[in-house]
Amino acid sequence: MIFNKSLDNVSIYEAGKPIELVVREFGIDPHDIVKLASNENPYGTCDAVADIIARKSVSAFVYPDDSMYELKDALANEYQVVPQNIVIGAGSDQVIEFCIHAKCHTNSKVLMAKTTFAMYEIYAKQVGATILKTPSDAHNLDEFREIYKNEGSDIIFLCLPNNPLGECLDAKDVYSFLDEVDSNTLVILDGAYQEFASYKDGAKKIIPSEVINKYPNVIYLGTFSKAYGLGGMRVGYGISNEEIIKVLHKVRPPFNITTLSLAGAIEALKHKGFVQMGIEKNFSQMKRYEDYATSKGLRFIPSYTNFITIYMDGFVSKDVAYELLKLGIIVRDMTGYGFNAIRITIGRDEQNSKVFNALDLILSDKK
């Protein structure tokens, strides 16, 4: 069968391995498995959020409120914007898809960092757009400027902070870059880990209301999957000016968020203390990873997120990841990104201790 030609060079997104797979393949008890591959919140959500999701299940036969009025209202309050500035997606992933579909076609160009969130490229290639990447792995705005000046671009992605490397640009540098971008180029600021970055260093904090007031060509993306602990509910959002949001609604399918997702997200916004606790613990546990890596002579990338990328100097990262998997620990091998490194989501105290014990075994075996 002949398919859309554009799909010929689209690769399938490789999601972090699910617990079920490790249970099946290695016969490990699901309770003993430590899943640190998808940057989920290891503290989950608070009881109030779990309760409301359970209670709403009796209304699961009714379509959700497609206007998503309550969630938009809550987010508008949170970010000091109006509901007309907001579009909701099944994860911010879906908002990325809306942006690409609204703006790009076969002759379009999409500019991004060399090593960044894989979905930018996948969605752009689906519509046949040309991908432009800066030469350095991490975000380097001078390289973005250079390519943009020479080639132009319909969309520019900045991932702040960047997944899978964990580095983050300063907000003031992002703003001065935005000053130089043409009003017909859509700039997507992906803030999936902004809650973490702005806690660690205020200089990284992007303020969506300021950005969209000053730059009519920018959209800010946020998600409930990371700091808010609702990855399984699939809720993300885009904040931009009304004109852009209106167009994005043209490509949004009806009822794209479930009733349970809406209720969970609305409730989660009311429990900031819980989220804050998770963020604080994240960075105190991250310190343990930094100390561990240093003690083993392994380099790591200082991270503004809830994961850390550690180079496996002297070892083969793919093998290390597989040995960890056999011990029931799921991490992300970075070989596919061209890095001899593993990316580990920062887990709970006892999960991280398991990782260190397992790495002790694996790294002493191989050297």
* First-residue to last-residue Cα distance in the chain: 50
Identify the CA nearest to 30 among candidates 39, 18, 42: 18
Query: By C-beta, is 343 or 354 nearer to ligand PLP?
Result: 343
The span of 88-96, 131-139, 252-260, 285-293 binding ligand PLP (CB under 6 A) equals: 88-96
Which spans in the chain are helix H? 19-26, 47-56, 69-79, 92-103, 118-126, 141-151, 171-179, 194-200, 208-214, 242-251, 259-268, 272-295, 317-326, 349-366
Among 192, 197, 244, 308, binds ligand PLP (CB under 6 A): 192
Query: By C-beta, is 37 or 81 nearer to ligand PLP?
Result: 37
Query: By C-beta, is 159 or 301 nearer to ligand PLP?
Result: 159
What is the β-pairing status of strands 186-190 and 332-333?
unpaired
For residue 278, state whether it binds ligand PLP (rule: CB under 6 A).
no
CB of 172 to ligand PLP, least distance (A): 21
Beta partners for residue 342, in sequence order: 310, 333
Burial 128-166 (b: 16+ CB within 10 A, else e): bbbebbbeebbbebebbeebbeeeebbbbbbbbbbbbbb
Q: How far apart are CA 92 and CA 117, in angstroms?
A: 12
Q: Which residue has the tokens 């700039």?
A: 187
Radius of gyration, alpha carbons of the chain: 21
Beta partners for residue 341, in sequence order: 311
CB 300 within 8 A of CB 310: yes
Whose CB is nearest to ligand PLP? 91
Q: Phi/psi of residue 131, each to 5°?
A: -95, 130
For residue 198, state whether it binds ligand PLP (rule: CB under 6 A).
no
Structure tokens at 18: 């699910």
For residue 345, state whether it binds ligand PLP (rule: CB under 6 A).
no
Query: By C-beta, is 157 or 300 nearer to ligand PLP?
Result: 157
**Which string of x and - marks every residue 108-127 that binds ligand PLP (by CB under 6 A)?**
---------x----------
For residue 223, state whether it binds ligand PLP (rule: CB under 6 A).
yes
How many residues are listed for the chain in this entry? 367
Identify the CA nearest to 256 among candidates 71, 102, 58, 100: 71
Query: By C-beta, is 285 or 345 nearer to ligand PLP?
Result: 345
**Which string of x and - marks every residue 281-320 that binds ligand PLP (by CB under 6 A)?**
----------------------------------------
For residue 41, state whether it binds ligand PLP (rule: CB under 6 A).
no
CB of 221 to ligand PLP, least distance (A): 7
Q: Which residue has the tokens 């990104």?
A: 337
The span of 48-56, 66-74, 85-93, 330-338 binding ligand PLP (CB under 6 A) equals: 85-93
The span of 68-76, 89-97, 282-290, 291-299 binding ligand PLP (CB under 6 A) equals: 89-97
The span of 86-94, 212-220, 314-322, 331-339 binding ligand PLP (CB under 6 A) equals: 86-94
Query: By C-beta, is 92 or 351 nearer to ligand PLP?
Result: 92
Tell me, what DSSP letter sits at residue 9?
G
For residue 166, state whether it binds ligand PLP (rule: CB under 6 A).
no
Count H helices, E strands: the chain?
14, 13
The span of 13-21, 175-183, 201-209, 220-228 binding ligand PLP (CB under 6 A) equals: 220-228
CB of 234 to ligand PLP, least distance (A): 6
CB of 39 to ligand PLP, least distance (A): 6
Q: Which residues bind ligand PLP (CB under 6 A)?
A: 39, 91-93, 117, 159, 163, 190, 192, 223, 225-226, 231, 236
